[in-house]
Structure 1
């Protein structure tokens, strides 16, 4: 015995909407591709880290970062690479990240800004006690690593202990 398909009762508005959808050919919503300042993730990864000395106005990762990240980059790993190590921890972390493309890399450097080459990687960020594994998404570019590994936890208190209140003084101890 074959089952019949039930007819779905629609409101006139829903029927018009379904007909419009069939006419337009739209079957499902497409996810909008992520862009950072008008550039896709692939274009960002292809950019050089710093602009060349002969053309300081050239497009680079440093040039499209927010002002605070640009300042940190110019004083941090840019100065470290050129001047023999102004910030050695950041430089070592980026080198480890480039040398181990498939592995998880840990760091204590919470102030390091997320670069396009870090997208898709899992980075262990120290929170003061342990390493929190953070999956780097394109939306995180330009933010500090420490923003994604909270250093504080919410405390959940239990009830009062034995002897803490007058009524609990006469309770037999276990």
Structure 2
């Protein structure tokens, strides 16, 4: 039998009915502090626009896909089920928001670095490459 996910005792459906004020005590300290200040510094213009776009996507009024550069947005229950493309510095990485992601940041799921695969060294890479003939 598959175990149902619960966030601090609440099912995803119950979480979506909670207001932000009721959700704040359930989050970790860092997220609580950020959301407590949401009226001031936390809710920047980019985050406000993203919240409006999320609301439009929920109502199926958004044309196209939901893209953002806002990596420090805390995932709230109203984002569950959406596909959000988050910029990782080079491209937009697709993030499928699941209930387990509640309280984390969007940037945690769009990794910014990749494994480096080095090629062969080029001419001038070392002192010995001076003596290698160029075809």
Please report the TM-score for the alignment, with normalisation by the length of structure 1: 0.66
CA deviation profile, 1:104-138 (whole Å, cap 9, x unmatched): 31111111111111111111111122211111111
Instruction: Indicate the structure whose relative CO is greater, using CA pairs within 8 Å and at least 6 residues apart.
Output: 2
Structure 2 unaligned residues grouped into runs of 5+: none
Q: 1:106 to 1:167 in 2, by over 3 A?
A: closer
Quote the Cα distance in structure 2 between the aligned partners of 1:33 and 1:123: 24
Find 1:49's aligned residue among 4, 9, 20. Answer: 20
Quote the Cα distance in structure 1 between the aligned partners of 2:70 and 2:125: 43
Quote the Cα distance in structure 2 between the aligned partners of 1:73 and 1:169: 62
Aligned to 2:115: 154
Q: Runs of 4+ in structure 1 displaced over 6 angstroms?
A: none
Quote the Cα distance in structure 2 between the aligned partners of 1:36 and 1:98: 22
Structure 1 unaligned residues grouped into runs of 5+: 1-29, 51-59
Quote the Cα distance in structure 2 between the aligned partners of 1:145 and 1:167: 46
Aligned to 1:89: 46
Number of aligned residue pairs: 130
RMSD of Structure 2 on Structure 1 (CA): 2.3
Q: 1:113 to 1:164 in 2, by over 3 A?
A: closer
**Any conservation in 2 of the 1:124–1:132 contact (CA below 8 Å)?**
yes
**Higher-Rg member (1/2):** 1
